[in-house]
Structure 1
Amino acid sequence: MSDQVKETVKKVFEELADSLETGQMGKRLKIGLTIDGSELGTEVMKEAAYQIKRKNLFDVVVIGSETDWTQDFEHISTTDCQKEAHELMTELLDSGELAGCVTLHYNFPIGVSTVGKVVTPALGRELFIATTTGTASAARNEAMVLNTVHGIAAAKASGIANPSVGILNIEGAKAVERAVLTLQKGGYEVNFGASQRADGGLVLRGNDLLMGSVDVVVCDSLTGNILMKLFSAYNSGGNYEVSGSGYGPGIGKNYERNICIISRASGAPVIANALEYAYQLAKGQLAKISREEYGKAEAAGLQEICQELTKQGAPASAALAPVTPPEKEIVTSEIAGIEIMELEEAVQLLWQKNIYAESGMGCTGPVILVNDDNDQSAKQALTEANYL
């Protein structure tokens, strides 16, 4: 058998194996890569593209300026480095020619946010950060609830059947926790993980990020963007991202395109990983899973929950008339779990109920302090008012 025949047979079997994995008989998946706009030049794009070529899992389609190496790939030449490249990229995605694409400087519509993926330094676990760019909603707490759905969708499309989820201990965490628990009670399946700190809980500390205590950590996009940069470049001085799989795919209701984001500081290892991430998502049918997750979440009351969060986002303190506190008492009982932005409102609510209370800050977050005798009645009042 000649070498040429051997190579043909090899290619046929590779395409057959790929077809069986993707359900697209006779069609080898193509992932696009726009190569212009990096602060590190096109050299990192070249290195990443060749890494993927050597693995031979899928085909890389290079979109951008012509260089001495682009002839080794299917190449679509552009003159306008960003605008034209993105227009061509979206056309190829919408036509089905590309199964996904990796790019930078891309503006997603409001309602779409990206789920990044990093490797945690303590135990080498993969961690999905939901989310890292884009905006799921202009209302921050609502965005974090939607980011929970986005993170679950990305993890499932990447092959994790029942991803564990935690909420990062940032502003809004407790309100988001209550909202997602309500969503869970409505029938949406959320596999909550727990902090590995001694006191546990659904809200994650910084230590949990380093250990990878859960599969998906929920936060707002600005916080997630900072986390991505720290995880990706903490050992390189900051100007060259060496670890992780980039800022991930844009996910949102009815959003179909598999577009994965890298940054201007992403190095060749991150770009190569981002290409493989896009490939995994294409095989895992991200758009289909995203539709399914949104459908299940909406059946569990997602829209109503988000409307309530948006309403709560208005200055609620304006609705509370000034309250004279009851007679001062010794307060030694701590009530944790109050959102910090609602802390003073919750205190005034208890004053209205003739329960003396003070606000404080415990080692794991904000607390309300009441007399031991008032502990149960205070908790009941706060629960009824949706502060707990």
Structure 2
Amino acid sequence: MTENNAVKQMIGKAFMDIADAIQTGQFGNRVKVGLTTLGSEHGVENLVKGAELASKGADNFDIVLIGPKVDTSLEIAEVNSEDEMHKKMEELLDSHYIQACVTMHYNFPIGVSTVGKVITPGMGREMFLATTTGTASAHRVEAMVKNALYGIITAKAMGIEDPTVGILNLDGARQVERALKELNANGYKINFSESIRSDGGAVMRGNDLLAGSVDVMVTDTLTGNIMMKVFSSYTTGGSYEAMGYGYGPGIGDGYDRTILILSRASGVPVVANAIKYAAKLAQGKLPVVAKAEFTKAKAAKLEDILKSLTKDTKKAQVEAEEVAAPAKEVVTGSISGIDIMDLEDAVKALWKAGIYAESGMGCTGPIVLVSEDKMHQAAEVLGKAGFVAKEGDVC
């Protein structure tokens, strides 16, 4: 090709880009999304079909396939092994030739985990599952607090200015709730949702999962991974993921690549949706949003809150001495909001304060049972010891 012809092609492409921008209204916001095409249980063709489906009507993003040569009109960065494929993906991301990429079998560093996006069967709502792969922290509760932040970041990059947040009712959920409420009180605004169940609260039950009653559902990664698989393949028997947007982008403090994960079982519709998810995150400048949110969260003492979660000070204080139970009383008042892992220690803390208490399990989770006339006193003791929110969760 002569130099003149090369210049003419560059000028022609520039005019085409301008024409596209005028037609679509996307000035300077067109992005390129990569898709790696090796590693699927359904073969290369499954992934290529998903990319071609996503490209139909795509007026603000282009797709670059990273994998072996195939018969398609889409651009291909040709590689022939998974190892070579991921190296090429990272090269294209770091050079900014592509702004996001969808892939499988990719290992994130500790501290990074992915935020999936599903369509809930109850109301057909879209919901972010925070998180679905990767490891935010080796400490379960610390990880879930980080997962909440990762979910908020993703939702904001997707254009939801003030996403609603709920915490799935799992071991550690109440500790996560207390930590997030402390972060909120320190100035990092979190829009806590209310469960659709009559007793409400930010701790969500299975009904909320099905209904999609929050924008961001906070969970541990293993549970989130299972839920992604259920939501995406409950109509197909599990071998073919037919619904949803995949396992989502890896988020972490200081992590600036926009890499989204698919399962080996992800089918054509999910592949197409994951590419659209990636394009919108790239257009929403996910790394920029993440940096801003981490800065705000740190200003609200995120790091101090996380450090406090990894110190088992409450248990150490209680176990330092033997505590005898006070005289038994009729206990018909209940205090909720205590994590299952802290339940027996909370009872001992009340015994130490001279309040007879028993542990129990209500319909929304663990409870401490005390005499009706000592409920507020007990809530105050538990609040000061850090077992419940300071104001107490009396019911």
TM-score tier (shorter): over 0.9
The 5 A counterparts of 1:4-19 are: 12-16=18-22
Paired residue for 1:99?
99
TM-score (norm 2): 0.91
Partners of 1:131 and 1:363 in 2: CA distance: 25
The root-mean-square deviation of aligned C-alpha atoms, in Å, is 1.9
Does the aligned pair in 1 maintain the 2:318–2:345 contact within 8 Å? no
Partners of 1:331 and 1:39 in 2: CA distance: 56
Shift of 1:11: 5.5
Does the aligned pair in 2 maintain the 1:165–1:190 contact within 8 Å? yes
Paired residue for 1:4?
none
Partners of 2:123 and 2:306 in 1: CA distance: 35
Does residue 292 of structure 2 align to residue 285 of structure 1? no
Does the aligned pair in 1 maintain the 2:318–2:348 contact within 8 Å? no
Shift of 1:188: 0.2
SS at match of 2:240: coil
Shift of 1:49: 1.4
The 5 A counterparts of 1:1-388 are: 12-16=18-22, 21=26, 23=28, 28-57=30-59, 58-67=61-70, 69-70=71-72, 72-80=73-81, 82-312=82-312, 316=316, 319-388=319-388
| Cα 1:38/1:135, change in 2 over 3 Å | same
What amino acid does structure 2 have at the position aligned with 1:59?
A: D
What amino acid does structure 1 have at the position aligned with 2:205?
A: R
Cα deviation per residue 1:76-120 (whole Å; 9 max; x = unaligned)? Answer: 12122x211111101110110011000000000011110000011
Shift of 1:359: 0.3
What amino acid does structure 2 have at the position aligned with 1:13?
A: A
Partners of 1:246 and 1:165 in 2: CA distance: 20
Shift of 1:74: 1.4
Cα deviation per residue 1:203-260 (whole Å; 9 max; x = unaligned)? Answer: 0001011111110000111110001000000001110001100000000101100000
Unaligned runs of 5+ in 2: 1-12, 389-395
Cα deviation per residue 1:326-360 (whole Å; 9 max; x = unaligned)? Answer: 11111111111111100000001111111111100
Partners of 1:279 and 1:207 in 2: CA distance: 31
Identity fraction in percent: 52
Shift of 1:42: 1.3
Shift of 1:363: 1.1
Does the aligned pair in 1 maintain the 2:242–2:267 contact within 8 Å? yes
Partners of 2:288 and 2:22 in 1: CA distance: 23
| Cα 1:218/1:73, change in 2 over 3 Å | same
Does the aligned pair in 1 maintain the 2:158–2:280 contact within 8 Å? yes
Shift of 1:167: 0.5
TM-score (norm 1): 0.93
Partners of 2:14 and 2:345 in 1: CA distance: 72
Shift of 1:8: 9.7
Partners of 1:317 and 1:83 in 2: CA distance: 51
Partners of 1:301 and 1:103 in 2: CA distance: 34
Partners of 1:161 and 1:328 in 2: CA distance: 52
Partners of 1:17 and 1:301 in 2: CA distance: 46
| Cα 1:113/1:169, change in 2 over 3 Å | same
What amino acid does structure 1 have at the position aligned with 2:20?
A: E
